[in-house]
């Protein structure tokens, strides 16, 4: 594994125990400049992990707690009248940062979600008649509560598609939870140091982009995406009635980028089908739209993806 990646993980491990898959997912988002959505019940260190990562990277970090009464101007900023100068001035919002943590993003209404869309896609902010380009790197890491909980909104499909990956966070193991309880009760808190400069981060991104991907592996990934749209062509009659809309072209783009980063994190300079299998659910699970029949029968997108991976021939 790359020396810089090891240093980043060691710094995050000072305050976060376990949750390896979540940390890997966040690093992939960072290296590919993709937005990450993290779902899990409260108390699983989602916010702590994102905060720790920003400190280890030395990036500017802002956090917005999403609530039902949040307004677009609370995120983007607004024009403020200055009576002394007799003119309007721009007051920049928390999106003017490198890493934006949108905490409990699905507690805010549609108007706020649409305001965030332009920022995520175009990496620019429009306030009044002026547009401002955000300083790179910029990416959103959003946490959401499971939709079954009270007071949450279903995120629009268009916004979900802007997230490169959706990470589902579960409970720690008993051993990890014991260590967490010991640390907190003994008030052991360590300071996180910035271990990567901006220039080193750009070097890491270039190294990820140079990871080799064989043509057969590329075709395999396109076949996986195609199987979500035309399941009958792959002998997937058992899941065809469960898929309303297949994966969008953004999935193909994101999976090509993300598997390179996955291979890089595992210390390899080439992509193998194992890297794809490790990460495909995170890239696809929020982009497949299932039918009411699937919901009624308790079928999940993860189960559908498993069937697709089984059906498509591995190179």
Last residue of one domain, picked from the residues 168, 199, 230: 199
Last residue of one domain, picked from the residues 199, 229, 256: 199
Place of tokens 């300079």: 269
Residues 76 and 15 in one domain: yes
Specify if 51 maps to a domain: yes
CB 254 within 8 A of CB 246: no
Residues 218 and 147 in one domain: no
Residues 46 and 168 in one domain: yes
Cα 99 → chain centroid: 12
pLDDT tens digits for 8-50? Answer: 888 888 888 888 888 899 999 999 989 999 988 777 778 888 8
Q: How many domains does the chain have?
A: 2
Residue 256 pLDDT > 90:
yes
Residue 264 pLDDT > 90:
yes
CATH number for the domain that contains residue 282: 1.10.8.80
Q: How much is the pLDDT for 178?
A: 87
Residue 236 pLDDT > 90:
no
Written as six digits, the tokens of 227 are: 């199987």
Q: How much is the pLDDT for 189?
A: 67
Q: How much is the pLDDT for 130?
A: 82
The proportion of the chain whose per-residue pLDDT surpasses 90, expressed as a percent, equals: 29
pLDDT tens digits for 107-152? Answer: 887 788 878 877 888 888 888 778 888 888 888 988 887 765 666 7
Specify if 267 maps to a domain: yes
The C-alpha atoms of residue 299 and residue 86 are separated, in whole angstroms, by: 60
Query: pLDDT band for position 273 (50/70/90)?
Result: very high
Written as six digits, the tokens of 170 are: 């579960």
Specify if 206 maps to a domain: no
Last residue of one domain, picked from the residues 142, 173, 199: 199
Q: How much is the pLDDT for 183?
A: 79
Specify if 130 maps to a domain: yes
Specify if 204 maps to a domain: no
Specify if 286 maps to a domain: yes
Residue 254 pLDDT > 90:
yes
Specify if 77 maps to a domain: yes
Residues 262 and 190 in one domain: no
The C-alpha atoms of residue 224 and residue 280 are separated, in whole angstroms, by: 9
User: Which domain does 92 fall in, by range?
Assistant: 3-199
Summary mean pLDDT of the chain = 87
Q: How much is the pLDDT for 270?
A: 92
Give the CA-trace dihedral at 178, 179, 184, 189, to 10 degrees.
Answer: 180
Whole-prediction pTM: 0.87
CATH number for the domain that contains residue 92: 3.40.50.300
């Amino acid at each position: 594994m790359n020396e810089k990646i090891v240093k980043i993980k060691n710094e995050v491990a000072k305050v976060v125990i376990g949750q390896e898959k979540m940390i890997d997912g966040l690093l992939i988002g960072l290296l590919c400049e993709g937005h990450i959505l993290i779902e899990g019940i409260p108390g699983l260190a989602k916010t702590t992990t994102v905060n720790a990562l920003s400190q280890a990277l030395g990036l500017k970090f802002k956090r917005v707690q999403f609530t039902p009464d949040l307004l677009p101007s609370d995120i983007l900023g607004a024009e403020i009248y200055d009576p002394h100068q007799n003119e309007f001035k721009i007051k920049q919002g928390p999106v003017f940062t490198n890493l934006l943590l949108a905490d409990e993003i699905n507690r805010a209404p549609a108007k706020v979600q649409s305001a965030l869309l332009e920022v995520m896609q175009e990496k620019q902010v429009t306030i009044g008649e002026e547009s401002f380009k955000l300083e790179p790197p910029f990416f959103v890491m959003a946490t959401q509560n499971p939709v079954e909980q009270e007071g949450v909104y279903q995120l629009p499909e268009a916004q979900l598609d802007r997230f490169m990956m959706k990470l589902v966070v579960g409970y720690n193991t008993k051993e990890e939870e014991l260590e967490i309880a010991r640390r907190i009760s003994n008030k052991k808190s360590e300071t996180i140091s910035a271990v990567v400069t901006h220039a080193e981060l750009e070097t890491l991104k270039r190294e990820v982009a140079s990871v080799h991907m064989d043509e057969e592996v590329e075709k395999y990934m396109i076949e996986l995406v195609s199987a979500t749209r035309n399941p009958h062509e792959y002998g997937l009659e058992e899941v065809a009635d469960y898929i309303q809309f297949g994966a969008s072209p953004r999935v193909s783009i994101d999976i090509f980028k993300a598997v390179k980063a996955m291979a890089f994190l595992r210390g390899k300079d080439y992509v193998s089908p194992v890297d794809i299998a490790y990460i495909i659910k995170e890239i696809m699970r929020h982009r497949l739209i299932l039918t009411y029949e699937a919901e009624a029968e308790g079928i999940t997108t993860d189960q559908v993806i498993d069937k697709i991976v089984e059906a498509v021939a591995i190179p």
